[in-house]
Homo-oligomer: A and B are copies of this chain.
Amino acid sequence: MNIRDLHYFVVLAQVCHFGEAAKLCHVSQPTLSMQIKKLEEELGLILFERSNKQVIITEQGRLLVMQAQKILNDVKQMKDYARAAADPFAGELRLGVIPTLAPYLLPLIMPVIQKTYPQLRVWLVEEKTHRLVEKLANGELDAALMATPVESGFDSQVLFNEPFYFACSVDSAFYKKKSIRSDQLANQPILLLEEGHCLRDQAMAVCQVAKAKALADFTATSFETLRLMVQAGLGVTLMPALARQNEHSDSLHVIPFADLEPYRTITLYWRNNTSRLICLKAIAELITKEIHKVLTNP
């Protein structure tokens, strides 16, 4: 069976004249006759009674032409769907974000994305790096915002470098200081996130450079918890720049390093063969621009 044949059938049922129907279908009369005949043979029944003067649709024909019309409607609808879905900035985009970035980045970029691409419905998944890598690999995600490096065969685009700041409580010896030197870090009780957060590894790397030792006694499950622990005077920590943007209260003292410029690199990752490349490149551009504005106007 063939969709084209169903179209011939429906048109012939409407005009009940092989020559006319052939014209309407832009084919020759023998072609249409032949296809109708084949359709009848395939269905095992007679769709039309023919004579040289009139063509009459049979009862079975009347029954089946409705079904054929339904199929043609469905096909048309499918093509319409396809046309709509072919828009690179329409449909759903499933985006993964690491937890130490999500609550600070997303409020900044989601409104802009929604405004720029109103047809795009972005689903957000907040997971640690290794889960994002899994989900991206098996197709559960279209892209993921993670901190470099991520060893896996994804294609990626660097979005921005996010500096780390030194954060301590208002009771700290560094309160009212404008900056901190890396050697001053060695004496501080440095708090970290739990295992699995890339921010933990990045903070530890900074500690190594500064020859400081992180405090392993307490770990936090989220950066907001960590912030509270610092606020309570349990220790100090490294704070990503965007988290500092969120620091509206004066409950924490946040200052830059005087001699180091520690940072993490936030990158958008996707499968090499993603079908959403156009959309993702555009989103990457948009995030880069938007965050640049924020980070250069502190």
Known contacts A59-B92, A60-B91, A71-B75: does B45 contact A86 (CB below 8 Å)?
A: yes
**Stretch in contact with the other chain, from A62-70, A104-112, A177-185, A210-218:** A62-70
Contacts of A272 in B (CB 8 A): 51
Which of A44, A59, A68, A81 counts the most B-chain CB atoms under 10 A from its CB? A59
- The size of the chain A interface, using a CB distance under 8 A, is 44
**Docked-complex contact B63 and A91, CB < 8 angstroms:** yes
Closest to A274 in B: B49
Contacts of A79 in B (CB 8 A): 1, 43
**Cβ-neighbour of A3 out of B3, B54, B81 (below 8 A):** B3
Contacts of A82 in B (CB 8 A): 43-45, 60, 64
Known pairs A1-B3, A56-B138, A67-B78 / 16 extra A-B pairs, C-beta < 8 Å: A1-B79, A43-B79, A43-B86, A44-B82, A45-B85, A45-B275, A46-B275, A49-B139, A50-B273, A51-B272, A54-B139, A59-B275, A59-B276, A60-B86, A64-B78, A71-B71
